[in-house]
Amino acid sequence: MIADAILLLHVAFVAFVVLGLAFILIGKLLTWSWVRNRWFRLIHLASIGVVVVQSWLGVLCPLTNWEITFRAKAGDAVYSGSFISHWLQSLLYYEAPAWVFVVGYTAFGILVIASWFWVGPRPFSYQNDH
Domain membership of residue 70 as a residue range: 2-118
Give the residue with greater pLDDT, 31 vs 63. Answer: 31
Average pLDDT, the chain: 85
Residue 58 CB coordination number (10 Å): 9
Position 35 in a domain: yes
Per the rule left: phi > 0, alpha: psi between -120 and 50, beta: everything else, 99 is alpha
3-class DSSP assignment, residue 97: coil
Q: In whole angstroms, what is the distance from residue 24 CA to residue 40 CA?
A: 10
Residue 75 lies in a domain: yes
pLDDT at 87: 58
Type of residue found at 42: L
Task: Indicate whether 124 belongs to any domain.
Answer: no
pTM, two decimals, is 0.80
Number of domains in the chain: 1
Q: Indicate whether 97 belongs to any domain.
A: yes
User: Would 52 be classed as within a structural domain?
Assistant: yes
User: Is 129 part of a structural domain of the chain?
Assistant: no
111 within a domain of the structure (yes/no): yes
Structure confidence by residue, pLDDT tens digits, 54-94: 999 988 888 888 888 888 888 775 444 544 555 566 766 67
- What's the rounded Cα separation, in Å, for the pair 104 and 111? 11
pLDDT (0 to 100) of residue 30: 97
